[in-house]
A and B are shown apart, each in its own frame.
Chain A
Amino acid sequence: MRRGLRGLALTIAAPLLAASLLLAVWESWVRIRDVKNYLVPAPSAVLAALVDEPSRFSAAALISLQAALLGLVVASVGAFLLAMVMAHSRILERVLYPPALAVKVTPIVAVAPLFTIWFGFGIAPKILITAMITFFPMLVNSVIGLRSVDPRALDYFRSLDASRWQEFWRLRVPSSLPYIFAGLRISVPLALIGAVVAEFLSGSAGMGQLILIANGDFDTPTLFGAVFVLAALGILLTASVAFVERKVLFWHESSADV
């Protein structure tokens, strides 16, 4: 328990202390040097913007979060299905890899207006853009994961003449989970970026729009507020993935207490 308390103190108190110190230095710097509000607002001004109209931020954040998560789900499911095919055959992998790579290297900024023309200002183009950004890491990790099977375990399955179906669900899928979670850790922050960029480019509702409008108004405290909200969201999402990962992958080396 003592170790637990010390661990808690280290993981929560230490970063909190560092952050407070940073904010204090920032606040005093702005006050002493009398920095203009539209250039760099003091933390107190950012806080004022956040609490002044909190629903503005929370509503926008929820919209962005929804698009980010839906896009991530679409990408993960699509990537896993494609990975099943690619892990099954090297030839299909060679056929399917170039288009997957093409999606990955296409600049989002170039296709976002196109998606807006096709799908309007709703959630659909945002989901699509988010899915485009997160698809590739999920695909690569899923393919590697489905292939990374302990050869001895595979021998065991085959010595018992297990069906392909059993081999897939009872051996390959569980073996792939560490890789899929690694993919999720990369993709979750990307998903948030995807949603915000999509909103920013199309002007549809969400954190991206909030930033766009605040930018036009030289409302720098709101801009900073938006940045903080997004950072907090990103941390929250990443921590949630890590939490689920520890529960699911309790058996994997990555979860071992060192």
Chain B
Amino acid sequence: MTIAPKAQNKSAIPAVEVRGLTHRYPVGEANVAALCDIDLTVEDGEFVAVVGPSGCGKTTFLRIISGLLSPTSGQVSVLGQSTDSARRAQALGLVTQDPGLLPWLDVAANVRLTLDLTGVQLNAETRVAELLERVDIAGFRSYFPGQLSGGMRQRVALARALAHHPRLLLMDEPFGALDEFSREEMRLELLRVWEQERATVVFVTHSIREAVLVADRIVVMNGQPGRVSAEVPINLGRPRTLSMDERPEFQSLVSQIRGHLSAGVIEASVPPVAPGDGR
């Protein structure tokens, strides 16, 4: 049960392929580099977590994959096509830390909106009901976002992002604004939903434990501009449980990644960083 479901669906084309990606953005007169020479391949059906400190360009990286931002240089392909055509093919689902639900629509209508925008009319109501059931929020279908807790809003955001069966789910610190209890609950919830909906996931977070708990593979990013400093496979087996973090292999993975993060920081702060640049 643990390996079989994803193996069937696997396609030879990687979900995300990034080669030599560099991105700079203008700040006043200067061009500040946000990402430097990134290479990354995410296989179809894989759950990849990108871990790094704030300001290492994780969000920029995700926006580039989503086709919302064009990189300065380098190749990025999503599902074998350009990021823009993948976006146009409505193959993406997006969940951000503040999900930007529409406050004037109730929960069901917010999820339904994805189906309207992607032109899914057939059985739309059934799909909405199924999704709300799946993220365990069916009892709140006629509530408005303003009446929900942060955790419940993220459930709605997850349902909304998955409604049109996207092949690639992009998540940018989705649980970053939640309290510790809802965060743990949502991690498991996400994994449970993922087993059922089966999309490739790129999951950006600054929590090492969170990354180890959810991912098949962890990409460690750091520095300014952000670089990929390590890739760590997580062979913990699925389904994952919260108690897994007490296992020695979990602990050793966490310290291994922490090592990569601090090594990267030292390396990046030695060269031409001006004194007093606290970031």
Chain A residues with a Cβ under 8 A of chain B: 150-162, 166, 170-171, 174, 250-252
B146 touches A251 (CB 8 A): yes
Are B100's CB and A153's CB within 8 A?
yes
Nearest A-chain residue to B144, judged by Cβ: A251
Picked from A155, A166, A250, the residue with its CB within 8 Å of the CB of B117 is A166
The answer on a CB contact under 8 Å between B87 and A159 is yes
User: Complex Cα distance A164/B117, Å?
Assistant: 11
Task: Decide if A174 touches B104 in the complex (CB within 8 Å).
Answer: yes
A157 near B104 with CB under 8 A, answer no
Whether A155 pairs with B100 at a CB distance below 8 angstroms is: yes
Docked pose: A174 CA to B99 CA in angstroms: 17
A-B contact pairs, 25 of them (CB 8 A): A150-B100, A151-B100, A153-B102, A155-B68, A155-B94, A155-B100, A156-B99, A156-B100, A158-B87, A159-B66, A159-B67, A159-B68, A159-B93, A159-B94, A160-B92, A160-B164, A161-B87, A161-B89, A166-B117, A170-B102, A174-B102, A250-B144, A251-B103, A251-B146, A252-B103
- Kindly report which residue of chain A lies nearest to residue B115, judged by CB atoms: A160
In the complex formed, the residue of B with least CB distance to A171 is B102
Q: Which residues between 55 and 73 of chain B lie within 8 Å of chain A, taking CB atoms? A: 63, 66-68
Is B231 close to A, CB under 8 A? no
A251 to B104, CA, bound (A): 5
B118 CB within 8 Å of chain A: yes
- A160-B102 in contact given A155-B68, A155-B96 (Cβ < 8 Å): no
User: With A and B bound together, what is the CA distance between A152 and B118 in angstroms?
Assistant: 18
Tell me if B68 and A160 are in contact (CB < 8 A). Answer: no
Which residue, of A150, A154, A160, has the highest number of chain B Cβ atoms within 10 A? A160
Does B113 count as interface, using CB distance less than 8 angstroms? yes
Within 8 A of A (CB), among B198-244: none
Cβ contact within 8 Å between B92 and A159: yes
Residue in A156, A170, A251 whose CB lies within 8 Å of B94: A156
**Set of chain B residues within 8 Å of A158, measured between Cβ atoms:** 68, 87
Chain A's nearest CB lies how many Å from the CB of B53? 22
Whole-angstrom CA separation of A188 from B266 in the bound complex = 63
With a cutoff of 8 Å between Cβ atoms, the chain B residues found around residue A161 in the complex are 87-90
Chain B residue numbers with a CB within 8 Å of A150 are 100
A-B pairs with the 7 shortest C-beta distances? A152-B100, A153-B100, A159-B94, A251-B103, A251-B104, A162-B117, A160-B117
Name A154's closest neighbour in chain B (CB-CB).
B100
Give every chain B residue within 8 A of A159 (Cβ-Cβ).
66-68, 87, 92-94, 170
Complex interface: chain A residues within 8 A of B170 (CB): 159
Q: Which residues of A are found within 8 Å of B43, using beta-carbon distances?
A: none
Q: Does B114 contact A (CB under 8 A)?
A: yes
CA distance A250 to B131 in the complex (A): 26
Interchain CB contact under 8 A, B113 and A170: yes
B37 interfacial by beta-carbon distance below 8 Å: no
Q: Which residue of A lies closest to B157 (CB)?
A: A156
Is B99 a contact of A160 with CB atoms below 8 Å?
Answer: no
* Alpha-carbon gap, A155 to B100, bound state (A): 9
Contacts A150-B100, A155-B68, A162-B117 supplied; 6 other A-B pairs, CB < 8 Å: A151-B100, A154-B100, A158-B87, A159-B67, A160-B117, A170-B102
* A157 surroundings in chain B (CB, below 8 A): 117
Q: Does B245 contact A (CB under 8 A)?
A: no
Instruction: List residues 26-83 of chain B with CB under 8 A from any CB of chain A.
Output: 63, 66-68
**Bound Cα distance from A150 to B145, whole angstroms:** 14
**Does B98 sit within 8 A of A, measured CB to CB?**
yes
Q: Which residue of B lies closest to A157 (CB)?
A: B117
**Chain B residues in 8 Å Cβ range of A162:** 117
Chain A residues positioned under 8 Å from B90 (CB to CB) = 160-161
**Cα(A161)–Cα(B68), bound, Å:** 10
Q: Least Cβ distance of B171 to chain A in Å? A: 12
Closest chain B CB from A166 CB (angstroms): 6
B146 touches A152 (CB 8 A): no
